[in-house]
Amino acid sequence: MTKTHKKYLLGIDIGATNVKAGIVSAKGELLHQTSFPTNVRDGKDAVIHTITEQVRHFCAHHGIHADELIAAGIGAPGPLDYKTGILYFAPNLPGWHNVQLARIFTQKLKTDTFLENDANCAAWGEHWTGAAVDAQSFVMYTLGTGIGGGIIIENRILHGRDGAAAELGHVIVVPDGEACGCGSRGCLEAYASAPAIVRRYKSALRWEVGISATILEQSISAEEIVTKATEGDIFCKKIIEGTGKYLGRSIAGILNIFNPEMVIIGGGVSNAGPILFEPIKNEVNKLALEIARRKINITQAKLGTFAGVIGAAGCALTRLEISA
């Protein structure tokens, strides 16, 4: 078997709800993709077993052998050590402590496997084949159940001493504001994550409109609020505009700190379009230094929900090249 047979990368994005995986070309094309439930309640060992089995079946189904794989990349919620491939812990993966993910997957998948923070993977994916292919330095926000951050400086991921850099969801936008899951108050995540958008929607309904408790108990998702806003619902529009304002406040600070080329926003809520992006830009124009904002490009991510998979594969390729 010569080295020329190695032509595929494997990307795996381990989320608290679903695992996504994909076969990615060395140029960053997503050739095949799959996703399956994480079932975190089954416990760490069972989950890891399921992932490796599912990924093996997925590869076999597409006629890809382990020895055709250049490398595999895993994106996981941090904090983790990308160098040693150890996941220290993950708030949404109970029981996962100091898991040697890279080593375990290298053995089970029979290909060199590298670990990286999931939000960093998404940013790296956008850098490789998405919205940031032309940028050397940019900042990415991923709006979901939490708010992930990825910071690329001169084509390198900013990791920080403990791999805990770019926690953009935990930058304070309202001092002494809403309680955040991290234990602090007023974090961006407490205002612009999907659950925070739902909370703000319900709270606004309660106080501004005086809606009854029954209606408030009906469940609505952030995605539905975004859809309604884009369809013209004035109330939902105000909630998303407010989300943009909080985001813009945070981004203004980030521009003054990094003076980046771009800011990219991904995750379901970024589909709101101008309803989200206009207030972001207004806030940035009001709050950021002129030199830091005048050329700034604030734009939606391009790769969608498989950005993390593509980026995990890309990180693995880059790390393999560095270590070679």
Touching a copy of itself, residues 175-194 (CB under 8 A)? 175, 182-185
Touching a copy of itself, residues 83-122 (CB under 8 A)? 88
81 binds a copy of itself (CB under 8 A): no
Sheet with 69-76, edge to edge strand ranges? 30-37, 18-25, 8-14, 69-76, 113-117
By CB under 8 A, name the one of 54, 259, 299, 300 that touches a copy of itself.
Answer: 259
Q: How far apart are CA 257 and CA 21, in angstroms?
A: 34
What residues contact residue 110 under an 8 Å CB cut-off, 6+ apart?
66, 67, 69
Nearer to a copy of itself, 175 or 210 (CB): 175
Touching a copy of itself, residues 239-258 (CB under 8 A)? 249, 252-254, 256-258
Q: Which stretch binds a copy of itself (CB under 8 A): 21-29, 42-50, 158-166, 206-214?
A: 158-166
As measured in angstroms, the least distance from the Cβ of 281 to a copy of itself is 15
137 binds a copy of itself (CB under 8 A): yes
Nearer to a copy of itself, 3 or 294 (CB): 294
Nearer to a copy of itself, 8 or 138 (CB): 138
What residues contact residue 125 under an 8 Å CB cut-off, 6+ apart?
28, 303, 306, 307, 308, 309, 310, 311, 312, 314
Q: How far apart are CA 317 and CA 287, in angstroms?
A: 39
281 binds a copy of itself (CB under 8 A): no
Say what the alpha-carbon torsion angle 30, 33, 37, 42 is, to the nearest 10 degrees: -80
Cβ atoms of residues 265 and 141 within 8 Å: yes
Per-residue b/e over 40-55, b at no fewer than 16 CB within 10 Å?
Answer: beeeeeebbebbbebb
Nearer to a copy of itself, 35 or 117 (CB): 117
151 binds a copy of itself (CB under 8 A): yes
By CB under 8 A, name the one of 170, 200, 228, 237 that touches a copy of itself.
Answer: 170
Q: Which stretch binds a copy of itself (CB under 8 A): 95-103, 125-133, 196-204, 287-295?
A: 287-295
Pattern 35-64, a copy of itself, x by CB under 8 A:
------------------------------
Cβ atoms of residues 263 and 140 within 8 Å: yes
Nearer to a copy of itself, 233 or 261 (CB): 261
Q: What is the 3-state secondary structure (H, E, C) of 166-226?
A: CCHHHCECCCCCCECCCCCECECHHHHCHHHHHHHHHHHHHHHHCCCHHHHHCCCCHHHHH
Q: What is the binding site for a copy of itself (CB under 8 A)?
A: 79, 88, 137, 149, 151, 153, 158-168, 170-175, 182-185, 249, 252-254, 256-261, 286-292, 295
